[in-house]
Amino acid sequence: MQYFSCFSPKGAILAAPNLDSDLGYPHIFGRRKKGSGLGDSFGNFHSARIQIQILKRGLVSNHFKLRYYGQKKNSFYSPSALSLALFHDPQGSENKNEDAEIDYIVDPPESKEENFQRNRVEFVEKERVDVRALAGRLCDVKTAVDVDEVLKDYKTLPLPVYSSIIRGFGLDKRVDPAFAVFEWLKMKGKDSGGIISPNLFIYNSLLGALKQVAQFEKIDEVMEEMKSQGIVPNIVTYNTLMSAYIDQGQPQKALDVLDEIERNGISPSPATYSSVLLICRKMDDAIGAIGYFVKFREDYEKSYMVKDPINDWKTEFTKLENFAIRICYLVMRQHLVNEENAATNVFKILSEMDKVRLRPGRVEYERLIWACTQERHYNVARELYQRIREMESEISLSVCNHVIWLMGKAKKWWAALEIYEDLLDKGPEPNNLSYELIMSHFNILLSAAKKKGIWRWGVRLINKMLDKGLRPGIKEWNAVLVACSKASETSAAVQIFRRMVEHGERPTVLSYGALLSAMEKAKLYDEALRVWEHMCKVGVKPNLHAYTILVSVYIGNGMPEMVDSVIKEMRLSKLEPSIITFNAIITGCARNRLSGAAFEWFHRMKVQNMKPNEITYEMLIEALSQDGKPRLAYEMYLRAINEGLHLSAKAYDAVLESSQAFGTNMDMNALGDRPQEKKRIVRFRRNLSELCDLEDLDRRNKPFDRTEICSSDIQER
């Protein structure tokens, strides 16, 4: 039997006189200690003895003393818990001093005659009862008759013995012997005229036993019997009912019990408030938990509980406050894990907590941040991060890294940068993961700037990285170079190239290619050829893209004869010209009015089994039209249509204008309808918003002027 088998070898001995049942139970005044309560088993005590001394004044005195004897400084010895087990104090309180002598006040009898009738039973002072042995003999009983057979050799015992035995059977999951002892007490009550019969505390013990074995259907029967016997429930009774309803998953009925407590004018105990908060947790009602806590705090602040000698309400208040915070944390975490619209619910709970001055600690905030894993959680994570910073307490570096990662996932890169700046300014010191995360965010921004050709943003990002102690790699420098090249910002590209070299980065073929492209677009052909020579001199091997730019440079510089040598050099390097290479050659010829050379390279494409695309035909038609060859341009247009290509309206207009200018009669109907103009939608503002959260940027202390060039040493050409 688990509950009773935990006794020490010496057993637990109860030395007590036979008390009349009508005297009831004393209320124990004191403070509850950690680890003690109504559910403590007898195994928590070593060689503990209780001695009840009756000081008779007349027949029966209305005053008696209880002394505890035990071993001091023993973590397993708890006299208050033992007294609770024997007397079943409804509040679960305990004495502050383990060896203190405590006085208990018991209501006197109504009259001497009644006193005489109630105390016909002989009191035996200092009679010792081995409760462990007695419980062991009763553990297999089934009926009241069986109990009577076991107890026939015992004199009348005090009711606390039966109360503790019933409660012990409940904790040991033995409800049958508990009911048998209860029925025996009822039988004895009839035989003795009510001298020994179940009282409130016996009923409470039985209710607790039924709750322990989850026989909830019998709890209502016991409650009805209590009412029929005229026994008024106390706070322990109601707390047990609330706990039973919670275990059954009926939180609303548990709240109805709370309403009944208030109607009956009974003062709730700490267990009552804890049960109410637990109900809110079961219902995932954080707002309700906050409301009940506020109500409790109002009563506490009005000093309604100060005069209560049973409970240490200052300690209980702290426990309940922590419990309410815990409930709010669990509900918010559940929202973040399971719901789509979690941010709204979380912010609502945080707002309500702020209103009532219920502030979670750093640990709760950090755990909630860890629960933020989706893009839509970024605003929650940022708010929680700011709250931790405002507390002026330490913050975990791993949490900061998680927020940086989440901001990047939600494309809030500037917000991630702010967090990294906090690490540099306020701590903790960033580690390699912090560096890699922020560098990855910069790479995303630079890649977007590179793709969109927004060179100003690229320059700003490079400057920002250098300001924050981040060393841009060759990948970052090249991204800015390509952005400058796409924007035809040659001077900016040259400056970035020089800064890259000054910061110890060795240019790659991509670096040289971007610089060559910027110079070719600016028609700086001689400078481009010098860059090419320098690239070859330092041992950088050209790729296909670099060779393609080189042929455009030669054609633009009036040296189309050098194109053949470039093609031969490409093949020696095991690089075959692509469609892009041929298009660059034809485009260069078209821009320099070399229609014959363009047409020749067109045929060389066909010889090499390279299929022309729309760009090839459009640039060739443009070159032929400008060179006074409208019929050949017309034929090329029809050929492109027959090959299933869709040329632009510009090519159609070039054929039409050339035929009219040179007076050539051609069937324009054969060309079909004029193609629709390709609308070019400029989305500069949208592109900027993709690169940076404009709302975040506007909230920064130093707003950024989107039109400025961030590097003063870069002069626009």
Burial class (CB in 10 A: 0-12, 13-18, 19+), 526: exposed
Taking the CB of residue 430, how many other CB atoms lie within 10 A of it?
20
Range in 18-27, 161-170, 525-534, 556-565 the model is least confident about: 18-27
Distance CA 201, CA 677 (A): 93
Q: How confident is the model at residue 678 (pLDDT cuts 50, 70, 90)?
A: low
Task: Return the pLDDT at 297.
Answer: 87
Mean pLDDT, residues 53-68 taken together = 31
Task: Return the pLDDT at 299.
Answer: 80
- What angle, rounded to 10 degrees, do the helices at 362-371 and 397-409 form? 30
For a pLDDT cut of 90, what percent of the chain falls above it?
A: 40
pLDDT digits (tens, 9 = 90+) for 563-574: 999 999 999 999
Whether the predicted pLDDT of 123 surpasses 50: no
Q: What is the DSSP string of 413-458?
A: HHHHHHHHHHHHHHSSPP-HHHHHHHHHHHHHHHHHHHHHT-HHHH
Q: How confident is the model at residue 80 (pLDDT cuts 50, 70, 90)?
A: very low
Output the six-digit token pair for 236. Answer: 């322990």
Distance CA 14, CA 533 (A): 106
Mean pLDDT, residues 122-136 taken together = 65
Burial class (CB in 10 A: 0-12, 13-18, 19+), 55: exposed
Distance CA 79, CA 94 (A): 8
DSSP 702: S
Range in 95-104, 426-435, 481-490, 619-628 the model is least confident about: 95-104
Half-sphere exposure of residue 439, counting CA atoms within 13 Å on the CB side?
17
Residue among 104, 114, 88 nearest 20 (CA): 114
Can you tell me whether residue 157 is helix, strand or coil? coil
Distance CA 685, CA 181 (A): 84
- What angle, rounded to 10 degrees, do the helices at 413-426 and 432-452 form? 150
Q: How confident is the model at residue 680 (pLDDT cuts 50, 70, 90)?
A: low
Whether the predicted pLDDT of 120 surpasses 50: no
212-220 long-range Cβ contacts below 8 angstroms, 24+ apart: 212/170, 212/171, 212/173, 212/175, 213/170, 213/173, 213/175, 214/247, 215/175, 216/244, 216/247, 216/248, 219/244
pLDDT digits (tens, 9 = 90+) for 384-397: 999 999 998 889 99
Task: Return the pLDDT at 5.
Answer: 38
For a pLDDT cut of 70, what percent of the chain falls above it?
A: 75
Task: Return the pLDDT at 706.
Answer: 31
**Please, which residues have CB within 8 angstroms of residue 317's CB and are 6 or more apart in sequence?**
296, 297, 300
Output the six-digit token pair for 282. Answer: 């079961």
Q: In what order do the strands lie in the sheet with 128-130?
A: 101-105, 63-69, 49-54, 13-15, 128-130
> According to the per-residue pLDDT averaged within each range, which of 65-74, 145-154, 693-702 is highest?
145-154
Burial class (CB in 10 A: 0-12, 13-18, 19+), 581: buried
pLDDT digits (tens, 9 = 90+) for 12-48: 333 333 333 332 333 322 333 333 333 333 333 333 3
Half-sphere exposure of residue 571, counting CA atoms within 13 Å on the CB side?
6
3-state secondary structure 563-598: HHHHHHHHHHCCCCCCHHHHHHHHHHHHHCCCHHHH
Q: Length of the chain, please?
A: 717
526-530 long-range Cβ contacts below 8 angstroms, 24+ apart: 526/557, 528/553, 529/553, 529/557
Distance CA 203, CA 226 (A): 7
Q: How confident is the model at residue 694 (pLDDT cuts 50, 70, 90)?
A: very low
Distance CA 138, CA 148 (A): 10
Mean pLDDT, residues 607-621 taken together = 90
Distance CA 567, CA 570 (A): 5
Range in 21-35, 164-178, 454-468, 627-641 the model is least confident about: 21-35
pLDDT digits (tens, 9 = 90+) for 227-248: 888 889 999 999 999 999 998 8
Rounded to the nearest angstrom, the gap between the alpha carbon of residue 278 and the centroid of all alpha carbons in its chain is: 22
Q: Record the pTM.
A: 0.64
Distance CA 43, CA 85 (A): 11
Q: How confident is the model at residue 315 (pLDDT cuts 50, 70, 90)?
A: confident
Mean pLDDT, residues 428-437 taken together = 93
For the chain, state the CA radius of gyration. 45
> According to the per-residue pLDDT averaged within each range, which of 5-9, 84-88, 193-197 is highest?
193-197
Whether the predicted pLDDT of 117 surpasses 50: no
Task: Return the pLDDT at 106.
Answer: 30
Distance CA 242, CA 237 (A): 9
Half-sphere exposure of residue 14, counting CA atoms within 13 Å on the CB side?
25
**Please, which residues have CB within 8 angstroms of residue 168's CB and are 6 or more apart in sequence?**
3, 4, 41, 42, 85, 135
Mean pLDDT, residues 126-137 taken together = 76
Whether the predicted pLDDT of 350 surpasses 60: yes
Task: Return the pLDDT at 468.
Answer: 85
**Please, which residues have CB within 8 angstroms of residue 630's CB and are 6 or more apart in sequence?**
624, 655, 658, 659, 661, 662, 664, 666
Burial class (CB in 10 A: 0-12, 13-18, 19+), 631: middle
pLDDT digits (tens, 9 = 90+) for 443-479: 888 888 888 888 998 999 999 899 888 899 999 999 9
Distance CA 93, CA 576 (A): 92
Report CA torsion sign: 306, 88, 32, 323.
negative
How close are the terminal C-alpha atoms of the chain, in Å? 94
Mean pLDDT, residues 418-425 taken together = 92
Whether the predicted pLDDT of 575 surpasses 80: yes
Give the β-pairing of 49-54 and 13-15.
parallel
Distance CA 657, CA 625 (A): 8
DSSP 23: G
Distance CA 465, CA 433 (A): 16
Whether the predicted pLDDT of 57 surpasses 70: no
Average model confidence (pLDDT) for the chain?
77
Task: Return the pLDDT at 534.
Answer: 93
CB 95 within 8 A of CB 30: yes
